[in-house]
């Protein structure tokens, strides 16, 4: 099926036509997740890492009212420079950003939608969204979780963002039947750190095993994605106590300023970077690249199966 608003880059379209491995990449991390020029540098390094592992990168965003699957270097530069001026775009926002011909940085949820429209099954990001701390009062729950329950895309991540309520996030995923698979670990990673104290549903140790599980899940007609939880490399993992102190301070500061909704996570990540003197930013870069490399390997194995 062709969509008038969908624009698939020629190299991505050709790879998909030939059943070659393709990895989707999000754009919120460019516009809202890191400062310029780190954001552009990291995005380009992620694309290079995908290619190094024999797959084709497809960074996704809305540009000039077009749902672009595979961005140019100029697109990435524009998103990085414009930063928070670019609309953070989740499921509810897609139609309206497209209709007005604007730009949108895609979240995990909207990147999954773009990947599904193009026929891409593997997606790499930093961390998924989830249930925010204090959600019992605020009901602040990311649309990423619902998208994982309904859309057939595997998301390779370093767990959920550490600023979230990880226990409730895992409970929500369980309720909606989303498998959480640890790559070479029995414990759910906590973004900046390798451990959270919570277990994953299953441990798989090779990209081949992950690809096989994906193939079987979707061949049986079981709808929805899979969370592939890939711990941050040991060399870049942060101290759990110091991270938690920074998170609590950042949340306190956000509350004091009345920051809510879409603006909350970008604010918290930026504030944590300040409080950790940039260490969290370096950890973020390392975990994203680690996830991208694993996603490319899974994509290669998955393509071989199909």
Nearest to 149 by CA among 115, 168, 129, 175: 175
Which residue in 147, 161, 273, 301 is the catalytic one? 161
Task: Please answer whether residues 123 and 227 qualify as being in contact, where contact means their C-beta atoms are separated by less than 8 angstroms.
Answer: no
Nearest to 34 by CA among 46, 50, 49: 46
What is the C-alpha separation between 98 and 87, in angstroms, rounded? 11
What is the C-alpha separation between 103 and 275, in angstroms, rounded? 31
Task: Please answer whether residues 100 and 66 qualify as being in contact, where contact means their C-beta atoms are separated by less than 8 angstroms.
Answer: no
Active site residue 52: no
Alpha carbon distances (Å) from 189 to 112, 169, 235, 239, 276: 21, 13, 15, 13, 19
Dihedral of CA atoms 104, 105, 108, 114 in degrees, nearest 10, equals: 50
Q: Three-state DSSP class for 124?
A: strand
Active site residue 161: yes
Which residue in 26, 47, 147, 273 is the catalytic one? 26
Beta-strand pair 56-63/104-106: antiparallel
Nearest to 165 by CA among 133, 188, 140, 197: 133
Task: Please answer whether residues 112 and 227 qualify as being in contact, where contact means their C-beta atoms are separated by less than 8 angstroms.
Answer: no
Those residues with Cβ within 8 angstroms of residue 45's Cβ, 6 or more apart along the chain or in another chain: 285, 289
Q: Three-state DSSP class for 140?
A: coil
Active site residues: 26, 161
């Amino acid at each position: 099926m062709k969509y008038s608003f969908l624009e698939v880059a020629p190299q991505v379209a050709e790879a998909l036509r030939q059943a070659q491995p393709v990895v989707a990449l999000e754009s919120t991390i460019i516009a809202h997740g890191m400062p310029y020029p780190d954001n552009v540098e990291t995005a380009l390094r992620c694309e290079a890492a995908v290619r190094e592992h024999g797959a084709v990168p497809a960074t996704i965003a809305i540009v000039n009212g077009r749902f672009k699957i595979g961005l140019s270097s100029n697109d990435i530069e524009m998103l990085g420079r414009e930063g928070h001026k670019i609309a953070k775009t989740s499921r509810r926002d897609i139609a309206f950003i497209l209709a007005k011909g604007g730009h949108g940085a895609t979240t995990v949820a909207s990147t999954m939608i773009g990947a599904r429209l193009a026929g891409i099954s593997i997606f790499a990001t930093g961390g998924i969204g989830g249930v925010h701390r204090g959600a019992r009062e605020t009901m602040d729950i990311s649309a990423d979780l619902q998208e994982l329950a309904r859309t057939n895309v595997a998301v390779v991540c370093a767990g959920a963002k550490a600023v979230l309520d990880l226990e409730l996030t895992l409970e929500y995923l369980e309720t909606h039947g989303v498998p959480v698979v640890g790559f070479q670990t029995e414990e759910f990673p906590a973004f900046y750190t390798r451990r959270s104290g919570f277990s994953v549903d299953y441990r798989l140790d090779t990209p081949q095993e992950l690809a096989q599980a994906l193939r079987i899940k979707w061949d049986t007609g079981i709808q929805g994605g899979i969370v592939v939880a890939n711990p941050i490399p040991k060399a870049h993992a942060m101290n759990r106590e110091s991270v938690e102190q920074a998170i609590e301070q950042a949340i306190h500061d956000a509350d004091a300023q009345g920051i809510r909704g879409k603006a909350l996570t970008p604010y918290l990540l930026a504030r944590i970077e300040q409080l950790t003197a940039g260490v969290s930013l370096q950890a973020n870069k390392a975990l994203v690249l680690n996830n991208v490399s694993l996603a490319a390997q899974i994509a290669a194995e998955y393509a071989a199966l199909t």
